A and B are shown apart, each in its own frame.
Chain A
Amino acid sequence: MSRLNDVNIKTALEIIARYPRPKSALIPLLHLAQEQNGYVTNEAMVHLGELVGVTSAEVYGTATFYEMFRFEPVGKYLVNICGTMSCALMGAGDLMHHAEQKLGVKAGGTTADGMFTLAHAECQAACTEAPTLQVNYRFRYKVTNGDFDTLIDDLKSGKLADEIPAHGVVARIRQRIPADRGVGAVAPGLATENPAWMDGKAAL
């Protein structure tokens, strides 16, 4: 069973309540599902469809549009090594080769202990700091082979646990917005009056 657990169902309902239409909450809910299991499971997508009132196919269509959602089990740490121009020139190829040696998996693979998934990435928008990598989307700059080894060892020993949470956790602090503090958006089909900005424009 990889549907949302009871705690996350409560969180999901809170998130849904922020939006005028339930299905608008789909992206944050997919993050919630990924946080729970490390990847988005089929069962979770079925569950999200039930929660927001769309079919599983629609959830799947939305989810697969986004690169950050994974549909197969991912290691606790997803290591993305940039291979685009600047990084490539600054030795990303060698770094990837070294990483494959160090972790004992090819790019795209996951280590047998489930700790690391190694992957190629396109430009991470930090060209001045090439070569770069990201661990669960947290940057490491001007990475040498030695830096990489240290990084892996630190992750294994738990030394970086505070900085880098397990894959799927976007942020450790969850934003809490009670319904009465929401912006009170209304679905267009249910709106009885024009939004304020429209009235303002009319006054011009």
Chain B
Amino acid sequence: MTTVDSNTAASEPVVDPNAVSVTINGKVVAARKGEMIIAAADRTDDFIPRFCYHPRMEPVGMCRQCLVEVVGPRGPMMVVSCMTPVAEGQVVNTETEGVKKAQEGVLELLLANHPLDCPVCDKGGECPLQDQAFSHGPGESRFVEEKRHYEKPIAISDNVYLDRERCILCDRCTRFADEVAGDALISFTSRGNNTQVMTFPDEPFSSYFSGNTVQICPVGALTAKPYRFKARPWDIEHVESTCTTCSVGCRTVVQSSRDELVRYQGVDSQPVNWGWLCDKGRFNFESINSKDRLTTPLIKDGSGNLSATSWSVAIDSAARMLRTALTVSPQSVAIIGGAHGTNEDAFAWAHLADALGVDSRDSQLADGLPPQVFSLPQATIADIDSAKTIILLAPDLKEELPVLYLRVRHAAEKRTGRVVEVSPRATGLAGKAWKKVHVEPGKTAATLRALATDAAFTAQVASGSVVVIVGRMNLAESEESVVHALAEVLHLAPHATVLPVLRRGNVRGSITAGLTPRNGGKSTAEILEAAAAGKIECLVLLGADPLSDVPDADLARRGLSGARNIIAIDTFITQSSALADIVLPAAAYGEKVGTTTNLEGRISNVAQSITPVGTARPDWMIAVELGTATSHDLGFASYNEVHAAMISMVSEFAPAIDTHAVEHDGVIVAHPTPITLTRADSASSERNSYDYRAVVSRKLYDNAIGTAKSPSLATLATAAAVIVNPLDVPRIGAQVGESVRVTSERATLVLSLQESADVLRGTAWLPINLNGSDARELLDVTKDVIDLKIEMMS
């Protein structure tokens, strides 16, 4: 409750021109100009009932439930508190007889057509309509006529069901779809008594953010397929956690019932996700409940098949494998992965690697950025709100980091900042961009250098703070090309701060914890190359699946078949762990406690909600056991000990000592002294005789294991294709939809030809890891750019 304290008000003579003071139910409340009465009242103990009002969306005054009295010159006047701004000296009463009568009247009307099927409604028990009918309703209805009936429910998308009988037309879902997500695929249709939320005929509400509408629906009109009839709210156990599906690190509530995950809900964390989640992060809890999870350690038997064994046998065998390899040379042992675990997991493994003398370890799979980007002046996600210019030098945020996309979109939509899109193809934010710099692969740095003469651009950059969102916008280009481009941007905007967007959940934490090459150790690409040359005796895959994740498919294949022994720590049998000699089952998200670090370096907790499946253990525990079995006492034996050791030994993690903050909005890692990037003349490779430059990126729904093992998401991955500009289609000769032959210096693939105006002429966009031939076969991580030939099938 924020009431003005006369003592502090007197001792702080700073006058805020936007400050106003209103009286709500006799209590003086400090508010700001433009704020609505309901928002100011939310800081007192007095609750104004509401359905349509949502603090993260524009008010519409749709439901009329929040009626209150404002005392005016002609006496008390009934106003909707979500649409009436505060004013100096305003006197508001929210609990008078008149207000009570009005609110009861509105509720009686809202309930007139509501089916009151609460016993079989998913929302029952956590329903604002149910709760407020109880707290602010009339108790009785005078409506005795037949209620209206609709088919119930209808699927408006693969995962969202609509029950129109329950809908009270609050406009929350439709406003969210339009205002927040930018996917206005649902709308009010018809009029009067027939008004209903509906999609266009045969065009489903296929938004990456559709699950949020279920969460904000104040009644049971929208329900999510993965949760329908799974649990009752009063039987659910809740723990607040952080989503690690991607590196945005959205705050969530992980909910379980009978030791099974049933739902994730977004938590409104001001610095991170504002309550929103993407559907992938919301629904991929299904993979954790999957029957395909690894439950026991597996070891390769005499006939070369993986068969179940005990932990003691598995750990002893793994330790023997490591020891044998170490006697050959510590350089012949390598660790790939760690970005899917917690900070503690990564720390324990880095600590084990230190003890064993293993320098070749990398939590990035040849698709990341050099850790030096973390040493540049860092931006936070919240800096996007106040930045005057947001420069996107990043992959398509909508596809890779969806909730960060919402934040940038919000800034553009509210005109708080201008978006400059630097990309080889139009991304999901292209429509919101103030300036689009579409660059040909291989020429990004040179194109950006030329922007120095663009007066409008330089004036815009000089007008205020600049945030550069930097990541791998094209996996067919080298990571150096991104660093060179970033150096050019920072030369044009020396005051800019940098938000590095690496993709995997805890990639930043695992790098910080030490799972990154040390003392001249090898990176993932180098490890795989060495393995292919027979120089790796023991390869540890820490939750990594190089065969489906490393952009260069051939390199991954050669590397994994060349490694003498492979120890995999994983939750599933993946393409890569299937090749391992020993597979150790890992506890998954929701099954272990820990902390994670998001892309901005925010450390927040991940909580345990259920017991690990079978005998699965957290990664850190496996590291400790392998340490013991190789005669290295890592110095910790419980989660609390590994967490404490991590905070004291890794200086960046020191702020995590503030446990309360870590369990809520998180704390930002301690930053090292900023460095500056030096501009380099990146030799832009000339085209070979091939016609198209490859642009390779990921889509939100692909065949990654967490998606593939979640039945609600598994069907959403599309077919692989090669996508070119419509004007290039005649040049190829084939029709759109036909199969074409795509050739790089590495391989030839047959892919379906598609067209999109988002793709630059002379380039070809190839999303990877979809259904069908994978474009990763065409890539070569040693090349700066990949040129392609696209031909008709003869």
Contact = CB atoms under 8 A, between A and B. Distances in A.
Interface of A: 42, 45-46, 54-62, 64-67
17 contacts: A54-B184, A55-B184, A56-B203, A57-B184, A57-B185, A57-B186, A57-B198, A57-B200, A58-B178, A58-B187, A60-B189, A60-B201, A61-B189, A64-B189, A64-B191, A65-B189, A65-B191
B18 interface: no
B199 interface: yes
A55 B185 contact: yes
B690 interface: no
Given A42-B200, A55-B200, A61-B198, 17 more contacts: A42-B202, A45-B200, A46-B200, A55-B183, A55-B184, A55-B187, A57-B200, A57-B203, A58-B184, A58-B187, A59-B200, A60-B187, A60-B200, A61-B188, A61-B189, A64-B190, A67-B191
A57 B198 CA distance: 8
Given A65-B190, A65-B191, A60 B184 contact: no
B310 to A, nearest CB: 57
Contacts of A67: 191
Contacts of A45: 200
Nearest to B190: A64
Among A45, A57, A65, chain B packs the most CB atoms within 10 A around the CB of: A57
Nearest to A67: B191
Is the contact region of chain A dominated by helix, strand, or loop, or is it mixed?
helix
Centre residue among B187, B190, B202 by max chain A CB count within 10 A: B187
Contacts of B200: 42, 45-46, 55-57, 59-60
Nearest to A56: B200
A65 B191 CA distance: 5
B697 to A, nearest CB: 25
Contacts of B184: 54-55, 57-58
Contacts of A58: 178, 184, 187
Contacts of B183: 55
Interface string B195-210: 0001111110000000
Contacts of B191: 64-67
Interface of B: 178, 183-191, 198-203
A176 to B, nearest CB: 32
Which one of B189, B200, B201, B203 has the greatest number of beta carbons of chain A within 10 Å? B200
Contacts of B187: 55, 57-58, 60-62
The list of the 7 closest CB pairs from A to B, nearest first, reads: A61-B187, A56-B200, A64-B189, A57-B200, A57-B187, A55-B184, A60-B200
A65 B187 CA distance: 11
Contacts of B198: 57, 60-61
Nearest to A71: B201
A37 to B, nearest CB: 16
A67 B190 CA distance: 9
Contacts of B199: 57
A120 to B, nearest CB: 16
A183 to B, nearest CB: 26
Contacts, number: 44
A118 B199 CA distance: 29
Contacts of A56: 200, 203
A46 B199 CA distance: 12
Contacts of A60: 187, 189, 198, 200-201
Contacts of A64: 189-191
Contacts of B178: 58
Nearest to A59: B200
A42 B200 CA distance: 8
Nearest to B189: A64
A42 B188 CA distance: 17
A45 B187 CA distance: 14
Contacts of A62: 187
Nearest to A49: B200
Contact of B201 (A42, A54, A55, A61): A42
B707 to A, nearest CB: 26
Contacts of A66: 191
Contacts of A55: 183-185, 187, 200
A57 B188 CA distance: 9
Interface centre among A45, A54, A56, A67 (most CB of B within 10 A): A56
Contacts of A46: 200
A5 to B, nearest CB: 22
A26 B324 CA distance: 75
A110 B149 CA distance: 27
A45 B198 CA distance: 15
A55 B231 CA distance: 35
Contacts of B185: 55, 57
A187 to B, nearest CB: 13
A55 B205 CA distance: 11
A199 B203 CA distance: 46
Nearest to A54: B184
Nearest to A64: B189
A71 to B, nearest CB: 9
B583 to A, nearest CB: 47
Nearest to B183: A55
Nearest to A63: B189
A69 B188 CA distance: 16
A177 B202 CA distance: 37
Contacts of A65: 188-191
A64 B189 CA distance: 6
A62 B201 CA distance: 14
Nearest to A66: B191
Nearest to B174: A61
A55 B431 CA distance: 14
A56 B184 CA distance: 9
A58 B174 CA distance: 10
A42 B183 CA distance: 19
A59 to B, nearest CB: 8
B200 to A, nearest CB: 4
A64 B203 CA distance: 16
A146 to B, nearest CB: 37
B184 to A, nearest CB: 5
Contacts of B202: 42
Contacts of A54: 184
B198 to A, nearest CB: 7
A42 B199 CA distance: 12
B165 to A, nearest CB: 19
A54 B183 CA distance: 10
Nearest to B177: A57
A54 B185 CA distance: 10
A27 to B, nearest CB: 14
A61 B178 CA distance: 13
A158 B189 CA distance: 37
Nearest to B199: A57
A139 to B, nearest CB: 24
A67 B194 CA distance: 12
Nearest to B431: A53
A56 B201 CA distance: 9
A81 to B, nearest CB: 22
Contacts of B190: 64-65
A45 B178 CA distance: 18
Contacts of A61: 187-189, 198
B203 to A, nearest CB: 6
A61 B183 CA distance: 14
A45 B203 CA distance: 12
Contacts of B203: 56-57
B789 to A, nearest CB: 33
A67 B192 CA distance: 11
A121 to B, nearest CB: 16
Contacts of A42: 200-202
B156 to A, nearest CB: 10
A62 B199 CA distance: 12
A199 to B, nearest CB: 25
B260 to A, nearest CB: 35
A25 B178 CA distance: 19
Nearest to B197: A61
Nearest to A45: B200
Contacts of B186: 57
